[in-house]
Structure formats: structure tokens, C-alpha cells
Structure 1
Amino acid sequence: MRRVSRLTVAGAATASLALALSACGGTSTESSSSGSDGKNKGLAIAYDIGGRGDQSFNDAAYTGLEQAKNEFGYETADVEPTDGETDADKTQRLVSLAKQGYNPIVGVGYAYAPAIKEAAAKYPDTTFGIVDDSTIEADNVADLVFAEEEASYLAGVAAAKKSETNVVGFVGGVDNPLIHKFKAGFEQGVKDTNPKATVLSQFLTQTAEEGGFSSPDKGKAAAEGQIEKKADVIYAAAGLSGQGVIEAAAANEIWAIGVDSDQYQQEALAAYKDHILTSATKGVAKAVYNLAKSVEDGKPETGIVRGDLKSGEIGLADSNPTFKGDAELQKAVEEAKEKIISGEIKVKSS
């Protein structure tokens, strides 16, 4: 597949990208120049619900974009979602980026699947990526997916080892197949570690449009309900809503387990970090960067690109000194990790 060229040509500032995207979400990194053929730009990402600042996988995607921008020295764009947007809005956003010459273009989240499919068909010489979806079969699309259930299993091991009440909680943002992977892995990890433990599980909403991934207040209320039922470790796979879970955990002096990014390290969560035991991480930043590098190298990734424990693209963060200093916990997690990688433990995804 032909790679879109990125000749660096000085030019007058342009607001064309901002104008093109004004109807479908703002951009925090706008175009400042364009080559004579309009195709001199680099990586662009379009955020999922919650947008940049979710301290979770949207922010992880931005980290990958920043790494690519710094290493390759090209222009980038990152575009926010809007409330109540349709697939047509998402398509317009991606098409606008493709017209401007951005390559690759990444949709962050499975909700971008219809839009990616349509935009990729219109721009076959542009590489597209989608995070958390494996349904698009196209020569110019990379499906960036992860074995979330494996990292969640390790989170379950940690929760079971740390719980003093034998009651732990899971809060999922939306009741959908992706979040069921987190839930299934976590519950299996808990039960395999402590068969006597009880797992309280709750989904915040049935659809993303109802705010399951973008409502800290909903996450906080769900966590408080589980805490009333004696949960003393709660794992949240809920995007921005997970901040509410972490806040409730800190207020009640229990443990929270974060997701996607190492939330112990997130500046916005610094006030609660002492109660973030660990986070089930997945390498969204690495996947986004790797896609950009593959295009830069002239060998774009396509098809299903999967990250798992074996590849090192998912795992369990150990930034919290309490987690790092607990030898028994460390041993249990490491043993579980080795058994998953070897195939001795088969982790359920639903």
C-alpha cells in the first residue's frame, strides 16, 4: 500500500482543519502548515466518550501521539467527541482528517467501527487504526485489540490477596462485550485465589450514550453501594467514571484498582493515589505509537494487532509502594502471570 508522503514545506498558517472539524468536536492540536499537495501531516487520533483528560485509555492514546510527534517531528491532531454524536458525525471527523493528509488516523474505542470502515473505504491510501475493535476487515485498517481479561485476572488476584472482608467489587462503565472481558477475568482471578470471596459486580449503564464511561458521579455512587456491602477492594473498568470509584475508595479508606493507564501516576488523581493499589494496564500508547511508526517506516500495520501478557502490552502496575513491597502479593501475581502465559491458566473473556 502506498504511504502518504510527508514533505516538510513552509507555508502560511491555516485554520482549515479547525473549520472542517468545528461541527464535530474541537482539536487540541491544529494544523499550522500544509504542503503543496496537502499531504504532509502525521498521526491523528479521534477520542472516544470522555475525551482527553479521562486518566484512562483516551489519555493513553494521547501519550502515544506525543511520542510519535516528538520522535518523527511531524504535525499531529487530536479531536474531541461531542455529546450525542452519531456514526455520521464520527465519519465526518475521520474524513476531515484524511482530507487534511493525516496518516495514520486512529479512532479510540469500538464505537468508531462504522466510521472507520466507511472512511477507510474512501481513503484507501491512508492507514486507519481502531482501538478495542476486531471487526473491520480492510487492507488499510489495523484493529488494535488487547487481552483485557488477562490483566483483569491479575487484578482479581491482587484484590483477593488484599481484601480483609472477603468482599470485593467490580464497576463496569457499560454493559457490553468489551467490559464483560474485564469483569470475567477479574471474577476468575478473585475466585481462583480465594474461593470464599464474594465479588459484587455492577454496570453503570446499558449504553455509552447514557454516560457509563463519562460520569464520575455514577461511578462514585456505585462504589459507595458496594462499600456499604463490605467491599474493601474495588476494580473499575469505566473510563472517566472510574475517577468516582477511586474517590469513593479514598474517602472510605479502602483500595481501588485502576484501569488502562497506571492511575497511581496520574496527576489528576494525586489526592487519591495512596488508595490506588494497582491498575490493570494495556498498552494503548504503545499500540498507537507502533502504528504511527509502521506508517513512517513504509510498512503499515494492518489486520488484527493484539496485545497480551506475553507481548508485554498488558499487565499490572506496581507503582504503589504498598503493592511493590508486598512479597506475598507479588509472588501470587507473578505466578498467575506465568501460568497464563504458559497456557496453564485459561482466562475467560465472558
Structure 2
Amino acid sequence: MKKKTVALMLAAAMAASLTACAGSGSSAESKTTTAADSSAKEESTKADDAEKTTDAAEKKDNSDLKIGLVTDVGGVNDGSFNQSSWEGLQKAAEDFGVEVNYLESSTDADYVPNIETFIDEDYDLIISVGYMLADATRQAAEANPDCNFAIIDDATIDLPNVTCLMFRQEQAAYLVGYVAGLMTKTNNIGFVIGMTNETMNLFGYGYCAGAIDANPDITIQQFNANSFADPATGKTNASTAITNGADIIFHAAGATGLGVIEACQEAGVYAIGVDRDQYNDAPGTVVTSAMKRVDNAVYDSVESLINGTLKGGVHTYDLAAGGVDIAPSQDLLPEDVKKAVEDVKKKIVAGEVTVPSSKEEFEAAYGDVYQLD
């Protein structure tokens, strides 16, 4: 188990800001001022004051606030949702001056002691990464009602001190499936999932739906690695798909997906990443990624804690709100594919295209195509 601390103090920045404000607005030059000039100046002053108030709120000393992140297996460098969560927390530390830590979970036996460590150290907010931590988070939240908790990808905890951060990942998966359907040259693509359950299957529903809508003749090979921390199995699954004709493979498998990307890179076929923009993990191989902005959700939770507006309940991030999307790295996408994706994004937001969010919805529209239950 690794532990890392980042503590950023912004007192110096506050002092510099106040000094700059105090030194502005003086001039030895005189000029004639019209009524319009005076009005414009007044409005400008109001805008400046509002901006200074916002800056002051962001730069106040929050160093006494401590936020802890408990990862799922796969660790903070999984290249996926654990890493994205930590990146969001690091940005919050930089912007707000809070103290942040992470504790890595090597196995599910680490969930409870990792959470308890942060509780014992009087952390103000504890963020659990992934639905696998739901039982441990619920237990801790019930026993510590004065402590704030947030959990990613789980909506089963109905407690006033637990914020559930959910995502319409099926929408992002639909977009990358659409890309795969348009770009495959063999009409044969692959999908590797870390584990099958109600939450993870949303990736599969979206990916298969998007691929079929873009290319009705497509074949989709599907694999369950049954782990988020097994790159070797991910590589084996991807290699099998490639041997059977797949030329684009999407993974929704955390660190297991690193093996998928490696297999694709070695075989010279395209991979599709997940959760964060994974283009730089294998330039020339990762054609796009289904982004789930857990970094934004983590950042928002910290900001809400500071503002005193953090509430329990379910908070859902979708395509319209920028909570999910296709990756911004698009060097490998042809212009016609980019345009097609932008068009279908608009249709999803407008409600003209409905992405299935359950097995029943998927089968009603596409039949018994999705094989991972």
C-alpha cells in the first residue's frame, strides 16, 4: 500500500493578489470623462470587483481541509479511472490549497482498512473509486455520520453524508462504437470488459449499439477478463480477437486494458481507451477513448465541500453536461468520421438518438447481440 501527500498553501498568492489590487486604479493623467465613459467605468469596476471576490474565495486558506482517495485494485497508475480520479484531486489541491492523499487497494481486503485510516486521521472527505467499494463505504458512512463520503460508479448508498457520482458511460461508449463501426476494414471489432455487472455492462450496450448503428454488418467479439488488474489476461483476450479478425478493440477494464492496448500495438491494429484520454499510452495505436470525466466529478466534490454545498444523493454526469465524451486526441480519426461523430453527439443531446441503458432497452432495439451477462 502506497501513500502520497500533496499539500499546497496559497497564502503567498493571496498576498500578491491583494497587493496588486491595492496598487491598481491610480494615474497622474487627467482627461475629460463623459456620462457614457463614467457608466462604462462603473460597470467595469463592478465586473472587476466580482472577479476579485471569486478569486479571493478560491484562494482562501483551505490547508486545514483533508481529502482522501481510496483506489480500487489496479492502483493510481492504472491509466484509467483510478488515475483520472487522482488527477482530479491533484488539480483541486492546486486550485484550492487543500491537503490530499491517496491509498491504493491491492485487493478488496484493503477497502475497509484504507477507509478507516482516513477516518482515524480526521479527513473531511473520503472518495471511494468504484462500485466495488460500496459495502465498505456504506459501512463507514453509517458508523461516521459526521464524515463526508463520495463514491464513483455506485448509486446504492442512500445516506445524507454520501455523494454518489454516476456517469452516462453508455453515451461515451456509443460514440467510440460508432467510430469503430465506421473505421473497421474487416467489419470485425472487439470488446474487453473488466467485469460484468449492471454498471459495467453499460459500456457494452453503448459500444455495441454505436457500432451496429454505424455498420449493421459488423461482428463484435466480446470478452470478460473478470479483473480490473490483470493486463496479461487483457492481452490474451485482445490477441484472440485479433487472431479471429478484429482490427479495432475497445476495453473497459481498468489496468487490464493496458494489456489490450499492448496487444493491439504489437499487432498493428487500433485500440480504444476508456475513462481518460489514453492516446499518449500508445500513440498511433489508441485511435480514441470513451472518456468518463471522473476527474471533473472529484474536483466538483472538493469545490462543493469548500463552498458548503456538498450534498448526499446521486449526481449524474452525461454528454450534455460534459461528463462523458469522446477523447480530444483525434489525430488518427479521418475528417468524415469526426464529422459523423459530432453529428451523432448532437442527436444524442437532442434526444433524437437514444442510447440503451439497460439490457431490456438494448435487446428491444438490437436483439440478443450483447453476450456478457
Provide Cα deviations, 1:210-237, integer angstroms capped at 9, x if missing partner: xx11111111110010001110010000
| Aligned twin of 1:19 | none
The one-letter code of the counterpart of 1:222 is N
* TM-fit CA distance, 1:30: 7.9
1:214 aligns with 2:229: yes
- Give the % identical residues: 36
Matches within 5 A, 1:242-321: 242-265=257-280, 269=281, 272-321=282-331
Candidates 49, 71, 96, aligned match of 1:47: 71
The one-letter code of the counterpart of 1:236 is H
Structure 1 distance, partners of 2:106, 2:192, is 24
1:138 aligns with 2:159: yes
Matches within 5 A, 1:49-198: 49-83=73-107, 85-86=108-109, 89-198=110-219
Question: Which piece of structure 1 moves more, 170-179 or 217-226?
Answer: 170-179
1:227 aligns with 2:242: yes
**Unaligned 5+ runs, structure 2:** 9-62, 360-373
Residue aligned with 1:48, SS: coil
Structure 2 distance, partners of 1:126, 1:71, is 23
Provide Cα deviations, 1:294-343, integer angstroms capped at 9, x if missing partner: 011111132101111011110001314122xx221012111211111111
Structure 1 distance, partners of 2:139, 2:6, is 24
Provide Cα deviations, 1:135-158, integer angstroms capped at 9, x if missing partner: 000101100010111000001100
* TM-fit CA distance, 1:253: 1.0
Structure 2 distance, partners of 1:67, 1:104, is 16
What TM-score results when the alignment is normalised by the length of structure 1? 0.84
The one-letter code of the counterpart of 2:141 is A
| Aligned twin of 2:336 | 328
In the alignment, is the contact (CA less than 8 A) between 1:281 and 1:316 conserved in 2? yes
Residue aligned with 1:28, SS: strand
Q: Runs of 4+ in structure 1 displaced over 4 angstroms?
A: none
* TM-fit CA distance, 1:31: 8.9
Q: 1:126 to 1:163 in 2, by over 3 A?
A: same
How big is the alpha-carbon RMSD for the aligned residues of Structure 1 and Structure 2? 1.6
In the alignment, is the contact (CA less than 8 A) between 1:274 and 1:320 conserved in 2? no
In the alignment, is the contact (CA less than 8 A) between 1:104 and 1:128 conserved in 2? yes
Structure 2 distance, partners of 1:251, 1:190, is 24
Structure 2 distance, partners of 1:178, 1:306, is 13
**Unaligned 5+ runs, structure 1:** 1-24, 33-38, 206-211
Residue aligned with 1:76, SS: strand
The one-letter code of the counterpart of 1:274 is G
The one-letter code of the counterpart of 2:179 is A
Q: 1:101 to 1:41 in 2, by over 3 A?
A: farther
| Aligned twin of 1:7 | none
Structure with greater Cα Rg: 2
| Aligned twin of 2:30 | none
In the alignment, is the contact (CA less than 8 A) between 2:160 and 2:311 conserved in 1? no
| Aligned twin of 1:20 | none
1:341 aligns with 2:349: yes
The one-letter code of the counterpart of 1:262 is D
What TM-score results when the alignment is normalised by the length of structure 2? 0.79
Provide Cα deviations, 1:232-286, integer angstroms capped at 9, x if missing partner: 0100001001111111111111110000010013xxx2xx221100000011001
| Aligned twin of 2:58 | none
In the alignment, is the contact (CA less than 8 A) between 1:76 and 1:102 conserved in 2? no
Provide Cα deviations, 1:65-102, integer angstroms capped at 9, x if missing partner: 1011112212211001033x33xx42332132123121
Residue aligned with 1:280, SS: strand
Structure 2 distance, partners of 1:252, 1:92, is 42
The one-letter code of the counterpart of 1:336 is V
